[in-house]
Chains A and B, each alone.
Chain A
């Protein structure tokens, strides 16, 4: 049984995504929705990792730590976001960052799908229930980014 591997993948993907969400929020702090939702969703990632902890223990894998407070670099990013917020270059950077974040969100979601399949075959109902909830949340993150990218792309690429 290699369920531990699937758990490990999910935890890594969620921890990475949390980091990227925070980074995006700080880097584009003038985009207030990204800042606030970035923090909210980073917390959700941390919560997902935490909820997997008992299963990680059960299947024998170690739990990564999700950093919950912004580091020095994040704070610097926040400050510089405000300074360059008046430049149009930020649009191109924003679109690139959103695209990368979307890919990260997709990675986390498919990791949940894989884990859900494993849970089903392993007849682990508790794990299966958890994957159902978390996978839905993971899917929603992708939809949110999709909506945001659909709004941003035309303005960045066609105006100017």
Chain B
């Protein structure tokens, strides 16, 4: 038995390049449940984008535990702490079990019929008075493919509004856009097996150890194996990943682009370029050369605040590796010049000729478990099937598939991103907003503004959720939803692996699957196709999947060869899966022909500085014709540099024990206890300067708001403070918000990347002020992972007992 709160990654099973990652089956079953009476139901974890295959244990009609699936390519049996313990939220007494409707200012229980009639009446009213542009829909990265696709068809073909986005805008919009800019379409080119054979890993802005715990187990097993890969890490915090690095560059927040230009400068200067590859398979090299020649290591060192020698050393490691895997995440996506920087990560692998070969790839990583599906179904603002909204033939094709007039599909401009949608709601041109499975009242930037928008009387807010979140408390109608384990469906991880999740138990009370709610909405609205038949032709998740897969035929995310039957048993299967590749596709672009043809690509590209959308004629003039595009951009200083009044740079991020705004993980006792309250990380030098020690209460204040939190003196860079973004105005067992200012987003700035429209969460200027002495008691921060204290101050974080790890094979 292991304590997997204390020992986050479990026991090592080292392995060498090219050999199979050994199996280790992790299992956690509630105390007192007779194990031989547990029935297991196939699924996959929904607490990050790694997509670990797992079985759900059921006893007496309720979920009692989970175990990893040994055969699954994503995890070989392993699970992380959130996966092992997070399912307990399903059984929480806080679950919403009946619809709520606001009457005389208060949310009161109502029947489904009453609630849906109200939603439909308001929809009709807004549609009649303002048309489809008065309607907005904001979903999540947590539903299943079938929920998303149903919503996408309703919104695009039925209602006909461009105002549909997902909270994936906050998480992986930049991954999506960087892939489209460089390779022509979305979809990570590589496979997680590339980590098994690589000899060099470049991780920028990606705290793998906490965001993707099981992938980190895989990497740790390589790092402890016979031919350890070299590791270059860029992160302002001294994370576990940074501690393992050969070269760690703790750069100033907001300077990724300068650093990446500097590394490319060195790759060119060192002659570490695959000239044949770049000549035959890329365009844009001369412009890139011209741009990065202005970024010698000395200049970059000054901008980024790290030694020039370390930049040279990093470039040397990256430049001399033979099999390079690069990976990035929110440190790039949620920072300044996000898409421009993410494109440079793609460039590095292209310059090295290291894409589409075993051990050679770039990962524009995802965060949420089903983020990839929002991008495939179009529930995030893309066009369904990775089609191009500027390509009339793509729009006509969708119209044929959906049997609607093509003018019904709103394709006159890029689909509306969430920040713009909230702006429309603020000015009053959106009057109906349906928020599905996400909590913008905690997760969007500059919260006082978001709350005031949601509270407007003229805006009708519908929230579908499993819990009464901070956002649901502001709604006019709340619809209780069935979640993972309580409905069937599919989802896809960051290496394109599709998993089936079976329905294991009944949802509580009257809670319903999101797809069923949407189907009911479409039926009540009498949405029809152009022949007058119902717009949606499916009733079950499996029927929806069949419709979806036909829609993807011939597109990059081709699901046409998949079925629920095929996904049952064994491992998940990576798309494309079709007649040519019936067993799925390990890695894309093995022939180094990319998806940049004008009639196939998902996007014509953008100017990285302004976000100007290129049109078909611009794309034709660029003429990539199957070659990858090396995009270049100059570094610009962040929009809110620290100064005299606000001298610190705020960095927000996650803890290994929590997910988003804790709606689930806060209700799993082990995870809640491991990280029960907000904290702020500060460097020892800064702490000393401000006369602050571990556990002191401070106020962190930006021009927009303030929070109060206890201090953890940690290995964060001088001049940077880190605040986890999980904590809203809610604690387990409390029904009402307590009003304590502790949400990181009280501080953040309303600003977004010009291309991906991803909000900037990583560069805001703040000041820190001591409020009260901690009296020697440590802050509530965990003592593990990135929040590790520099000196021991209290009991070590623990409390995840009862997990079994069963290793098979390997050399452990």
Q: Looking across the interface, which residue of chain B has its beta carbon closest to that of A146?
A: B612
Whether B607 lies near A159 (C-beta < 8 A) is no
Q: How far is the CB of A158 from chain B (nearest CB, A)?
A: 6
Whether A151 lies near B131 (C-beta < 8 A) is no
Chain B residues positioned under 8 Å from A40 (CB to CB): 609, 636
User: What DSSP secondary structure best describes chain A's contact surface?
Assistant: helix
Binding-face segment, B250-258, B298-306, B420-428, B725-733: B420-428
Whether A33 lies near B754 (C-beta < 8 A) is yes
Binding-face segment, A7-15, A61-69, A80-88, A109-117: A80-88
A36 within 8 A of B: yes
Chain B residues positioned under 8 Å from A140 (CB to CB): 607, 609-610, 612
Whether A151 lies near B133 (C-beta < 8 A) is no
Q: How far is the CB of A153 from chain B (nearest CB, A)?
A: 8
The distance in angstroms between the C-alpha atoms of A140 and B610, with both chains bound, is 8
- In chain B, positions 392-428 with a C-beta closer than 8 Å to chain A are 412-414, 416, 419-420, 423-424, 426-428
A75 within 8 A of B: no
B420 in complex: contacting residue of A143, A147, A151, A154, CB < 8 Å: A151
- In chain A, positions 84-108 with a C-beta closer than 8 Å to chain B are 85-88, 90-91
Q: Looking across the interface, which residue of chain B has its beta carbon closest to that of A143?
A: B612
A33 in complex: contacting residue of B130, B412, B430, B752, CB < 8 Å: B752
The distance in angstroms between the C-alpha atoms of A86 and B422, with both chains bound, is 11
Residue of B133, B426, B612 most packed against chain A (CB within 10 A) = B612
Q: How far is the CB of B759 from chain A (nearest CB, A)?
A: 10
The distance in angstroms between the C-alpha atoms of A36 and B753, with both chains bound, is 10
A88 in complex: contacting residue of B412, B428, B614, B751, CB < 8 Å: B428
Size category of the A interface is: 20 to 34
Whether B610 lies near A158 (C-beta < 8 A) is no
Q: Looking across the interface, which residue of chain A has its beta carbon closest to that of B453?
A: A86
B77 within 8 A of A: no
Given contacts A88-B427, A151-B414, A155-B429, 16 further A-B contacts (CB under 8 A): A30-B426, A32-B750, A33-B611, A33-B754, A37-B610, A85-B427, A141-B610, A143-B613, A144-B611, A147-B414, A150-B412, A155-B133, A155-B424, A158-B133, A159-B134, A160-B134
- In chain A, positions 109-160 with a C-beta closer than 8 Å to chain B are 140-141, 143-144, 146-147, 150-151, 154-156, 158-160
Of all A-B residue pairs in the complex, the 6 with the closest CB atoms, nearest first, are A159-B133, A143-B612, A144-B610, A144-B612, A150-B413, A151-B413
Whether B614 lies near A143 (C-beta < 8 A) is yes
Chain A residues positioned under 8 Å from B424 (CB to CB): 155, 159
B413 in complex: contacting residue of A32, A143, A154, CB < 8 Å: A154
The distance in angstroms between the C-alpha atoms of A158 and B161, with both chains bound, is 12
Chain A residues positioned under 8 Å from B639 (CB to CB): 36, 39
Chain B residues engaging chain A, CB cutoff 8 angstroms? 130-131, 133-134, 162, 412-414, 416, 419-420, 423-424, 426-430, 607, 609-614, 618, 636, 639, 750-752, 754
Q: Looking across the interface, which residue of chain B has its beta carbon closest to that of A89?
A: B427
Whether A86 lies near B752 (C-beta < 8 A) is no
Chain B residues positioned under 8 Å from A30 (CB to CB): 423, 426-427
Chain B residues positioned under 8 Å from A144 (CB to CB): 607, 610-612
Q: How far is the CB of A47 from chain B (nearest CB, A)?
A: 11
Whether B420 lies near A87 (C-beta < 8 A) is no
| A–B complex contacts, Cβ < 8 Å, 14 sampled | A31-B423, A32-B419, A32-B750, A37-B754, A40-B609, A40-B636, A90-B427, A143-B613, A147-B611, A150-B412, A151-B413, A156-B429, A159-B131, A159-B429
Whether A32 lies near B751 (C-beta < 8 A) is yes
Whether A32 lies near B752 (C-beta < 8 A) is yes
Chain A residues positioned under 8 Å from B423 (CB to CB): 30-31
A41 within 8 A of B: yes
Q: How far is the CB of A68 from chain B (nearest CB, A)?
A: 15
With A33-B754, A85-B426 in contact, is A154–B612 under 8 Å at CB? no
The distance in angstroms between the C-alpha atoms of A11 and B758, with both chains bound, is 35
Q: How far is the CB of A45 from chain B (nearest CB, A)?
A: 13
Q: How far is the CB of A156 from chain B (nearest CB, A)?
A: 8
With A154-B413, A159-B133, A159-B134 in contact, is A87–B419 under 8 Å at CB? no
Chain A residues positioned under 8 Å from B413 (CB to CB): 147, 150-151, 154
The distance in angstroms between the C-alpha atoms of A156 and B134, with both chains bound, is 11
Whether B609 lies near A154 (C-beta < 8 A) is no
The distance in angstroms between the C-alpha atoms of A86 and B607, with both chains bound, is 31
Q: How far is the CB of A151 from chain B (nearest CB, A)?
A: 5
With A147-B611, A151-B414 in contact, is A86–B420 under 8 Å at CB? no
Q: How far is the CB of B234 from chain A (nearest CB, A)?
A: 24
Whether A159 lies near B427 (C-beta < 8 A) is no
Residue of A36, A85, A87, A155 most packed against chain B (CB within 10 A) = A155
The distance in angstroms between the C-alpha atoms of A88 and B426, with both chains bound, is 9
Chain A residues positioned under 8 Å from B429 (CB to CB): 88, 91, 155-156, 159-160
Chain B residues positioned under 8 Å from A158 (CB to CB): 131, 133
Chain A residues positioned under 8 Å from B427 (CB to CB): 30, 85-88, 90-91
Q: How far is the CB of B64 from chain A (nearest CB, A)?
A: 48
Q: How far is the CB of B21 from chain A (nearest CB, A)?
A: 44
Whether B751 lies near A86 (C-beta < 8 A) is no
Q: Looking across the interface, which residue of chain B has its beta carbon closest to that of A145?
A: B612
With A140-B609, A151-B414, A155-B424 in contact, is A160–B419 under 8 Å at CB? no
Whether B751 lies near A36 (C-beta < 8 A) is yes
Q: How far is the CB of A117 from chain B (nearest CB, A)?
A: 20
- In chain A, positions 1-54 with a C-beta closer than 8 Å to chain B are 30-33, 36-37, 39-41
Q: Looking across the interface, which residue of chain A has its beta carbon closest to that of B640?
A: A36
Residue of B130, B430, B639 most packed against chain A (CB within 10 A) = B639
Chain A residues positioned under 8 Å from B754 (CB to CB): 33, 37
Q: How far is the CB of A130 from chain B (nearest CB, A)?
A: 14
Chain A residues positioned under 8 Å from B133 (CB to CB): 154-155, 158-159
Q: Looking across the interface, which residue of chain A has its beta carbon closest to that of B415?
A: A151
Q: Looking across the interface, which residue of chain B has its beta carbon closest to that of A43?
A: B636
The distance in angstroms between the C-alpha atoms of A146 and B130, with both chains bound, is 25
The distance in angstroms between the C-alpha atoms of A151 and B134, with both chains bound, is 14
Q: How far is the CB of A142 from chain B (nearest CB, A)?
A: 8
Q: Looking across the interface, which residue of chain A has its beta carbon closest to that of B416?
A: A151
Q: Looking across the interface, which residue of chain B has its beta carbon closest to that of A133?
A: B290
Q: How far is the CB of A7 from chain B (nearest CB, A)?
A: 25
Whether B426 lies near A147 (C-beta < 8 A) is no
Q: How far is the CB of B156 from chain A (nearest CB, A)?
A: 15
Q: How far is the CB of B128 from chain A (nearest CB, A)?
A: 12
Chain A residues positioned under 8 Å from B414 (CB to CB): 147, 151
Whether A147 lies near B130 (C-beta < 8 A) is no
Chain B residues positioned under 8 Å from A147 (CB to CB): 413-414, 611-613
A86 in complex: contacting residue of B428, B610, B750, CB < 8 Å: B428
Chain B residues positioned under 8 Å from A160 (CB to CB): 130, 134, 429
Q: How far is the CB of B625 from chain A (nearest CB, A)?
A: 22
The distance in angstroms between the C-alpha atoms of A158 and B752, with both chains bound, is 26
Chain B residues positioned under 8 Å from A154 (CB to CB): 133, 162, 412-413
Chain A residues positioned under 8 Å from B412 (CB to CB): 150, 154
Chain A residues positioned under 8 Å from B130 (CB to CB): 159-160
Chain B residues positioned under 8 Å from A85 (CB to CB): 426-427
The distance in angstroms between the C-alpha atoms of A91 and B424, with both chains bound, is 9
Chain B residues positioned under 8 Å from A156 (CB to CB): 429
The distance in angstroms between the C-alpha atoms of A155 and B163, with both chains bound, is 10
Whether A143 lies near B419 (C-beta < 8 A) is no
The distance in angstroms between the C-alpha atoms of A91 and B162, with both chains bound, is 17
A41 in complex: contacting residue of B131, B134, B416, B610, CB < 8 Å: B610
Q: How far is the CB of A81 from chain B (nearest CB, A)?
A: 11
Chain B residues positioned under 8 Å from A33 (CB to CB): 611, 752, 754
Chain A residues positioned under 8 Å from B613 (CB to CB): 143, 147
Q: Looking across the interface, which residue of chain B has its beta carbon closest to that of A156?
A: B429
Chain B residues positioned under 8 Å from A88 (CB to CB): 427-429
Q: Looking across the interface, which residue of chain A has its beta carbon closest to that of B618?
A: A143
The distance in angstroms between the C-alpha atoms of A77 and B331, with both chains bound, is 35
Chain A residues positioned under 8 Å from B610 (CB to CB): 37, 41, 140-141, 143-144
The distance in angstroms between the C-alpha atoms of A154 and B133, with both chains bound, is 8
The distance in angstroms between the C-alpha atoms of A144 and B609, with both chains bound, is 10
